[in-house]
Amino acid sequence: MPKKMNLISKLHQDFVIEKIQKTDWAVVGSESPLVVELDTTEACDLACPGCISEDMMKTNNRFTNERLLQLGKEFYENGIKGVVLIGGGEPLAHPVIGDFMAYLGEHDIHLGITTNGTFIRKYLKQIAMYSSWTRVSMDAATSETFKILRPSKGGRSKFDSIVENMRLLAEIKQGKLGYSFLIQTPKDGPGLVSNIHEIYQAAKLARDIGCDYFEIKPSYRFRDGIDHALMVQNETLMSQAKEEIARLDDLVTDDFSITKAINLDFSLEGRQLVQPKDYNTCPVAELRTLICPSGVFVCPYWRAKEPFRIGDLNNHSFSEMWHGEGRKEVMDFLNPSKQCTFHCLRHESNLEVINIVRAINDGKEVDTVDEFDRFI
């Protein structure tokens, strides 16, 4: 199913429609969100040049061990359905991440993990048992390319040990395992090289490891005053990328799929993304939120951006933050039609929630489907 369709159908799951119905859309924070994206730490053991989180990682902030474990309890008490360990730094580098993942799993909070893969072996059991999906950022098919794009802080390549970690996980995992490939070229920043010639080889390796999917993604950079602007790459390299990507279908089996990120085709064609928004509030920001050690933010697009900081969970409970004045002020200030000039992955979701709310208010029937994915 195409990703966009999938995001829309996810909103029609029973538990989401129920939440939309219960929410008082005229009031900020009338209901807790369904999904939390969480940066456990802003520290990372890798030093990828041009990392999207480079600026915030200078701080090495992290939640204290006690606070992270307490947060798990607060998520449960607030009815959070899914937690995505997303980054900032490396989410699995947090000292009590194993206990945290086990707590979520034992309390039926679904877990998704975006990781550089270096700590998988250390938490193999918890990840295998409790993670619904684990997506390992690889961006290469060889240790040589990996060493340039994703070096350790000491400049070494951890490629072979990460591949080994993924093989171990593939053997025993309950959830899905993905191999993520971010297209990089010298235009992405100083010291970077093209990894395009390794796309097919990387997908083949992913299948050989026992991954369930290979995801190919374009990069984003700050450009023309827009954070997260889609990178405009060199035309010749994009032609090469198209050839590599066209071959990927040969690798598809019943157990192995290829996922193309939503904006990949725009990037391959060198097209600009235009996404005007004609709504003044962000309904999805009532259903999902981003928690970092340095603050809670409206969403990942506004990570570490002060005007969009809705609270601080070092000093407040989740509930105090979510229902507090600070968050209300930011949500009243937030205006997607003016501020969200980037291409937002949740734009169609916002339009759909607006339609669903309208239908409910008009007393119309809304289609529902059984739960199939907590990560709306």
Contact set with ligand SAM (CB under 6 A): 44, 50-53, 87, 90, 114-116, 137, 180, 182, 219-221
How far is residue 122's CA from residue 133's CA, in Å, rounded to a whole number? 17
Question: Least Å distance between CB 4 and ligand SAM?
Answer: 19
Q: Where are the alpha helices (DSSP H) in the chain?
A: 3-11, 14-22, 65-77, 97-106, 124-130, 143-149, 159-172, 199-209, 235-247, 264-269, 318-323, 325-333, 336-339, 347-361
CA distances from 106 to 109, 110, 126, 348 (A): 8, 10, 11, 33
Closest CB to ligand SAM among residues 44, 196: 44
Output the smallest distance, CB 160 to ligand SAM, in A.
17
Instruction: Give whichever of 28 and 85 is closer to ligand SAM, judged by the CB atom.
Output: 85
CB of 55 to ligand SAM, least distance (A): 11
Look up residue 133 and give its two tokens: 């999906």
CB 162 within 8 A of CB 138: yes
In whole angstroms, the minimum distance from the beta carbon of 221 to ligand SAM comes to 6
Strands 35-38 and 288-292: parallel
Question: Nearest approach, Cβ of 232 to ligand SAM (angstroms)?
Answer: 13
Of 245, 182, 184, 180, whose CA–CA distance to 206 is shortest? 180
CB of residue 176 to ligand SAM, shortest distance in Å: 15
Cβ–Cβ < 8 Å for 199, 245: yes
Measure the CA–CA gap between 361 and 25, rounded to whole angstroms.
11
Question: Six-digit token pair at 86?
Answer: 């997303």
Backbone angles phi, psi at 185, to 5 degrees: -140, 170
CB of 202 to ligand SAM, least distance (A): 13
Scored b (16 or more CB within 10 A) or e, 247-283 reads: ebeebeeeebbbbbbbbbebbbeeeeeeeebeeebbb
Least distance to ligand SAM, CB of residue 151, Å = 12
For residues 15 and 266, which CB has a smaller minimum distance to ligand SAM in the complex? 266
- Taken in order 219, 131, 368, 34, the sign of the CA dihedral is negative
Q: State the CB neighbour count (10 A cutoff) for residue 143.
A: 15
Smallest gap from Cβ 90 to ligand SAM, in A, equals 4
Choice between 52 and 313, CB closer to ligand SAM: 52
Sign, CA dihedral 258-264-270-271, equals positive
Q: Please identify, using beta-carbon distances, which residue of 115 and 233 lies nearer to ligand SAM.
A: 115
Q: Is-contact 110 375, C-beta < 8 A? A: yes
Nearer to ligand SAM, 20 or 140 (CB): 140
- Give yes or no for a contact between 166 and 131, defined as CB atoms under 8 angstroms apart: no
